[in-house]
Each structure stands twice: as structure tokens, then as C-alpha cells.
Structure 1
């Protein structure tokens, strides 16, 4: 009887293991090599708007950057934003006052090169308890580059002595993630990080619709990494992307619209993004290429100057409590 009971227990255990759902990257460590890319189809013109934010934005001030191309809200330096410029500019990060749009400090990031920095994200990283900046050197207007780079490093801490200065940061430990797409070159302006799995997601601009690719964690830093195609959105021309630090809310924008997703229970990032989004409020900008959440669920946008002599506004969209 004892042996019969043991056999029953073993059969039950094996049966239970075979029923485990391995489709959720958060739970199991997803096998991206067998992933079937989603193809989302929806009409953005009739898409409803979220009521989570005020429909009009606050103008916090103007930003003295001609080609602002990314935005990230600082976790180590609350009340401040990180930004950068794209091709033709230096390897400089700008720390901006979130209440005024004023540039507080310029940080030159030694060990990096700005070929075409198109987006920045702040998220978790390899060391638990630390926030990391991810800078995407992924722009490629002519779609001719053979490979691309994402720089990952711990978020720098501002000191009062830095105010008004240009500071060279030469002691950062920088992970240089060189990668290539599986299907040729892409101009990519949207970058977000899943803070749970640490997978890096990239959304393209110049394809017939925006394609979504992923660099699964742990990303390689000694050799060139390979991106996997995760899916195809129902909109075009992604210019910026961001996730909150909980990983359950995502904003992706193009020049005309902002799209919003919120996770259902037990959804992975890619499962969420495969669904139809809704729109978030957007006042429109000359050439809006930057977006980020803050700590309270509000979000900011800023534009390039384009061909204007007027500085771009820093907009803040307030969450409705």
C-alpha cells in the first residue's frame, strides 16, 4: 500500500509539471527563439482616449535643446529629468528641472559615442536596488547600419557643485550592448525596458508599421547580441517609448499620437503590447520624440525645435486621482 501511494504521488507530480504554462516570460524565462511574432490590427482614428490623465497639459517651461530625442524621469534625483540629443551631437546627457525646463547640469559620458542617440529609459538593471539608464544609439535614417548599441549604466547622482557645469563622468561602469536585427537594418526611435525581466524592447520608425524587437536578458556585452522580432503594431513611425518602474504601464508615441497599455493580471510585457491600446492625451508638438513617466504616474513630453527658433515646451500630463 505504501509503494502504491508513492507511485500515485510521483504520477501526480509529473502530471502537474506538464501542465505548467511556459508562455509567460516573467514566470519561466521565455524562449524567444521559438516566439511567434504578433501582428496587431486596429484603427487608431477611432481609438478611445484614456481618462486617467487631464486632457490638457501643463507647460512647465521651455527647454534649451535643439534636438531633444529622449526623456527619462530621475529616480536618484527626484524632480529632475534626463535628456539627450540625437545625431550630430555629442555624448552628453542633460539634467533638467522638471518644474521649469531649465538645464541644470550637462554630463559628458566618457566611454560612449553618439552616432544617433534616439531614446533613453530608466529602469532596473543587473544590480538589485539600483536604477540604470539605458541609452539607445539606434537611429538610422538611411537604414544602412550593420549594428546598433545600447549603453547601460547606473544612474548618476547630482551634486549641488554640478549646477551650471559640464561634468565629465569617467568612472562609470558602462555595459556596451552591441546588437543586430534578424532581418536587416532598422531606424529605431522607441526603447523601453521590462523592469521585471530586464528584457529590452525596441520599436521601429520607418517600416510599413512599427515593428517590435526584443533583446532578452541577460544581454551580451562581449560579443554582438541578436534581437528577436516580437511583433508588429497597428500604427507607424514610433518616435519614443517608456515603461513605468513597476512594468505594468507603457506609453509609445509617434508624431501625432500617444498609445497606452496597462497590464492585466499575469500578463507579460509582450502579451500586453500585442493587445489593442487606447490613446493618451497629447497636445501635439513640432517634432515630438521624447516621453516618460514620473514617480506618480504623470508623464512628460518634449519636442525638437525642428526648424523653429522657438524653444520647445516641456509638457506635463497630470494623472487624475
Structure 2
């Protein structure tokens, strides 16, 4: 091979490598404050998820000590648009919330995870409610009651949990919260447990390639199309690309670290409905809501 041809081939390979690196690594801008939570009632926002029905609306909840209720908030103003009481539910320690399909065929639901251990007791219960279709445009912070659509109770070999995620096929995943130096466990909850009167023991799962530096992780979300995953620790936001729905396979690889502005007690993270960015916020009264805009549309991780 002569020198000119060698250089041409080398440059061609380099260009391909650069292109693949750009495709493999989605990038997001640093966070900007888009609103500040304006309700005195919301003083320990421990989880957030993006509405599938209402534009510019997130759902959140307080940590332990509140009632069986969640809140609809505006991403534009931070105003509490509505309080949603969950009739028939208990509230031991709500730790995370996820928006997703009600089942594999139709409907939009909200999943509320009563899985924390702050009160000393652990419920390990997930409530599924249908997302209210009431008009929130002129929300005045009123109250709306919804019944439980279904309930899932489980037990496993982990002692603490603060993360629930729902994929595009209504599969529910939880991630254990572990001490520094340990690896959190990802578990898929069985469909057969929904609506039964018995607590189901979950024996499956995988350990993530993410060593906790504190008592982590504290929240997570799966994109609406099921292909992207966010997981939040106290100091970082991590990302996996899952092209085929096999979360066990892909989330045992090393994640990408995304931009994150340090918050006082940040435990909440979610994609927006189109996964064109993600939100975070912190526990505490009148906390800012941060938005991290996607810069490119790449959706592959280096390990995929």
C-alpha cells in the first residue's frame, strides 16, 4: 500500500471512529432552572415522572410522613396544579414514581412505589392508578380522588429501595439502595403479582455495574420508547441505552455519566415525554426544577 492510499484509509477509519463515538455517546446540556416548586405542601419531592396525557406536567410526591397522595405540577411555573388522593392506598414511605402504560396494550398509568424504609417498616408495595384525564389547564391546586387500579406486593433479598421504573411494555423494575462500596440490584417484578392478595417473592435480578459512593441510588426512569434509562445517585445521573428491552443485559455494563447540578437532597429524575431532555429536583421547600436539554439525538452507549 502506497503512502497516499494508507493516509486515505487511515483518515477514513478515523472519521468512522469519530462518527461512532458521537453516536455512542448522547450528550445533554448542563441544567437550567425552568421553574421553582411553589407549593408549601411539597417539601420532600422524592420522585418525579412526566405525564403521558397533559403537556408540561410532572407528577411528584413527598417522602415518608405524607398521606397516600401525589401532586401534579407545572414544568413552566412550578405551580401545584392538583393534589391526587389515592383511595384505598396506604403510605408508609413513598420513594419514587413512574409514568407508563397501564398494560401492554393501552392506557396511561402512574406507578407509586411504597418501598422505602425511613419509618423503620418496609411495605414493598407498588400502587398502579390510571392517570387522571381532568383538565389541568386552570389548575388551582384542588383535590381529585382516584381509586387503585391494581396493587403489587413483593419481597426480595434486598433491604432498601428508592427507585421504580416502568418500560414501554408495562414491565416494572425496582433498584435496591445500597451502602457505599456495594452494587445495587435490578429486579423485574412479575406480572402475575398484580391484583393478587399474596406477597410475591422475587428471586431473579442482576447487579448493576455501578458502585455506590453513598447510600444510592435514589431514583430512575425509563424513556417512553423503552430504549433509554436514567439512574440517579446523590451526586450523579447515569445513562444506559437498551435497544432491545433486555435491561438485565445492558445495565450490567458501565453507564455514561450525564450532567448534573448538585442539589441539597436530590432524589428525583425523569425524562420528558419525548426524551428530549430530563428533569431533576430536590427534597426541601421551594426547590428549583432543573431541565437538561438533549444536544444530539444519539441513543447508543459505548457498551451496546
Q: Which TM-score tier does this pair reach, normalised by the shorter chain?
A: 0.7 to 0.9
So what's the TM-score if we normalise by structure 1? Answer: 0.76
So what's the TM-score if we normalise by structure 2? Answer: 0.80
* Secondary structure of the corresponding residue to residue 228 of structure 1: coil
Aligned to 1:235: 211
Instruction: Give distance in 1, aligned partners of 2:173 and 2:211.
Output: 16
Aligned to 1:24: none
Aligned to 1:201: 173
What are the ranges of 5 or more consecutive residues in structure 2 without an aligned counterpart? Answer: 1-23, 297-304
Instruction: Give distance in 1, aligned partners of 2:50 and 2:136.
Output: 18
Deviation at 1:80, TM superposition (A): 0.6
Aligned to 2:256: 278
Aligned to 2:129: 153
Aligned to 2:165: 192
Aligned to 1:26: none
The alpha-carbon distance between structure 1 residues 144 and 252, as it changes in their structure 2 partners (threshold 3 A), is same
Instruction: Give distance in 1, aligned partners of 2:251 and 2:152.
Output: 24
1:89-112 CA distance string (max 9 Å, x none): 111211111112121111111111
Deviation at 1:227, TM superposition (A): 2.0
What are the ranges of 5 or more consecutive residues in structure 1 without an aligned counterpart? Answer: 1-48
Aligned to 1:95: 72
The alpha-carbon distance between structure 1 residues 267 and 213, as it changes in their structure 2 partners (threshold 3 A), is closer
- Kept in 1, the 8 Å contact 2:92–2:121? The answer is no
The alpha-carbon distance between structure 1 residues 161 and 317, as it changes in their structure 2 partners (threshold 3 A), is closer
1:180-204 CA distance string (max 9 Å, x none): 11x2x521001112223x3211111
1:249 aligns with 2:225: no
Aligned to 2:140: 164
Q: How does 1:285-300 map to 2 (within 5 A)?
A: 285-297=263-275, 298-300=277-279
Deviation at 1:161, TM superposition (A): 8.4
Instruction: Give distance in 2, aligned partners of 1:174 and 1:267.
Output: 25
- Select 1:57's aligned residue among 18, 28, 31: 31
1:76 aligns with 2:53: yes
The alpha-carbon distance between structure 1 residues 260 and 57, as it changes in their structure 2 partners (threshold 3 A), is same
Instruction: Give distance in 1, aligned partners of 2:58 and 2:194.
Output: 28
Instruction: Give distance in 2, aligned partners of 1:281 and 1:90.
Output: 33
The alpha-carbon distance between structure 1 residues 148 and 221, as it changes in their structure 2 partners (threshold 3 A), is same
The alpha-carbon distance between structure 1 residues 101 and 165, as it changes in their structure 2 partners (threshold 3 A), is closer
RMSD: 2.1
Deviation at 1:160, TM superposition (A): 4.7
- Select 2:283's aligned residue among 294, 304, 315: 304
